[in-house]
Amino acid sequence: MDKRKFWKGAAFVAAVVCISGATTAVVVKLTDKPETTSSMMYPQTNPYARFASAAPALETDFTVAAEQTVHAVVHVKTKTKIEQVYSRDPFLEFFFGNPYRNQQREAPVQEGAGSGVIISPDGYIVTNNHVVGDADEIEVTLNDNRTFTASVVGKDPNTDIALIKIKADNLPTIPFGNSDDLKVGEWVLAVGNPFNLTSTVTAGIVSAKARNINILNTEMRIESFIQTDAAVNPGNSGGALVNTRGELVGINTAIASRTGSFTGYSFAVPSSIVSKVVTDIREYGSVQRAVLGVAIQDISNELAKAEGLKTMQGAYVANITEGSSAEKAGVKRGDIIVNVNGNKVNSSSELQEQIGRYRPGDEIFIEVLRDNKTQRLQVKLQNRQGNTEIISTEVVADILGAKFQEVDHKTAAKLGISYGVQVASVGKGKFQEQGIQEEYIILKINGMQIRKADDIQKALDAAMNEEEEGRVLFIAGVYPNGNVAHYAINLID
């Protein structure tokens, strides 16, 4: 036989075998059903045939989720008047007068930006409290470039969530997903407006859950963030964190950075918390906070050794409030709470997240480890006041019995003040009982500056959440004639 013809034929056969082997590999990848082909008949000619049965993971497609969500994420722009402090010396004013008495001074304005997520076709938008919390003006720009003026429906500093509203219809929305179903390593998208760059989508994975990073400065804060490595920058706050199905699983809130820009990790409020907060705000006007009445901490090596604990998982009960839900249910100091209504609890932040989903009056089951044995307890949750009543904005307003209005520029200039809220009318309530009269200008309550009526609500809510002896409003203000007046209102009488 001609050697040249032999090698040509051999080369042709080898090519056929290799192509057949490659084809087999492709078929296995797509169908997972091995077929009898020439590569199986001649396995020695295909060195990679032994890997054919191991089908690699399919590539993740982000295009559908991006398309479904980008139109429901809005650009939020805010304007906030900055306080100007003018030092006043009564002695000098007596001789030389007040140089600002007849001058109108416009407070400088600080501009901010963030993102928001449309959650209903009629214009309800969820965002971060730190984006709109102190804003005097809020402008919302949709993905189609339409702009609207927004109003604040309600805010919750404890979770850094706020609900705002625009007057519009038939808006695109993002449906809520279940953040509990998220798994570490799962792909997610961050949708927002970083650096005023609208409609920006970035991808990453969930790198941790139930993160407590101590960024919220409130007594009843709930920090159980979803940690991701999706790029989030200034302007992304309030934007959407979605799964690959286009469902809302979180609201992007913070980044871990030494530079102010993204350096690797971002944090989002889980949708399980967001959903409960916005539902409360829409139904009751304020968030209904249920509490167990326990002081908790994570279990460290030192604590485990000192207390003889045989687990590092769960929330350790360091103390119990007298008369609280936990005490009535039989929780004791030294217990380790490991489960709430079938949901495993590994840390204090996870316990806070679980309890944060319920309202006063709800009944739940918790599991505790006591003497290394599991006990199941039924708990009827209470509010901070030790009862199960629902507190609405209207009920809170009735406590004070007053209506409020902005201070006009002429009065503010005359008094040399740059902020304050004026009492428009006084009816039956705490203000009337203390002798507070109409036109009184409230400047501070419990040390907090009062710039708008919402601040009075915020100060009242904070006081109502204190222990019984701390439920007092210390009010500082001035009447239009210049008379300074201070009042103390006991909220438990």
What are the tokens at 15? 């090519």
- Angle at the Cα of 295 (from 291 to 299), degrees rounded to 5? 125
Sequence letter at residue 85? V
**Interatomic CA distance for residues 412 and 100, integer angstroms:** 10
Q: Give the catalytic positions in this structure.
A: 130, 160, 237
Please name the amino acid found at residue 429: G
Q: Which of 321, 341, 345 is nearest to 331 (CA)?
A: 321
User: 297 with 316: CB under 8 angstroms?
Assistant: yes
CA atoms within 13 A on the CB side of 464: 22
- What are 437's strand-pairing partners? none
Could you tell me which of 243, 239, 242 has the C-alpha nearest to residue 254? 239
- Identity of residue 475: I
Q: Which two tokens stand for residue 383?
A: 């509010």
Q: d(Cα 292, Cα 297) in Å, to the nearest integer?
A: 14
- HEC string of the chain equals CCHHHHHHHHHHHHHHHHHHHHHHHHHHHHHCCCCCCHHHHCHHHCCCHHHCCCCCCCCCCCHHHHHHHHHHEEEEEEEEECCCCCCCCHHHHHHHCCCCCCCCCCCCEEEEEEEEEECCCCCEEEEEHHHHCCCCEEEEECCCCCEEECEEEEEECCCCEEEEECCCCCCCCCCECCHHHCCCCCEEEEEECHHHCCCEEEEEEEEEEEECCCCCCCCCCCCCEEEECCCCCCCCCCCEEEECCCCEEEEEEEEECCCCCCCCEEEEEEHHHHHHHHHHHHHHCCCCCCECCEEEECCCHHHHHHHCCCCCCCEEEEEECCCCHHHHHCCCCCCEEEEECCEECCCHHHHHHHHCCCCCCCEEEEEEEECCEEEEEEEECECCCCCCCCCCHHHHHHHHCEEEEECCHHHHHHHCCCCCEEEEEECCCHHHHHCCCCCCEEEEECCEECCCHHHHHHHHHHHHCCCHHHCEEEEEEECCCCCEEEEEEECCC
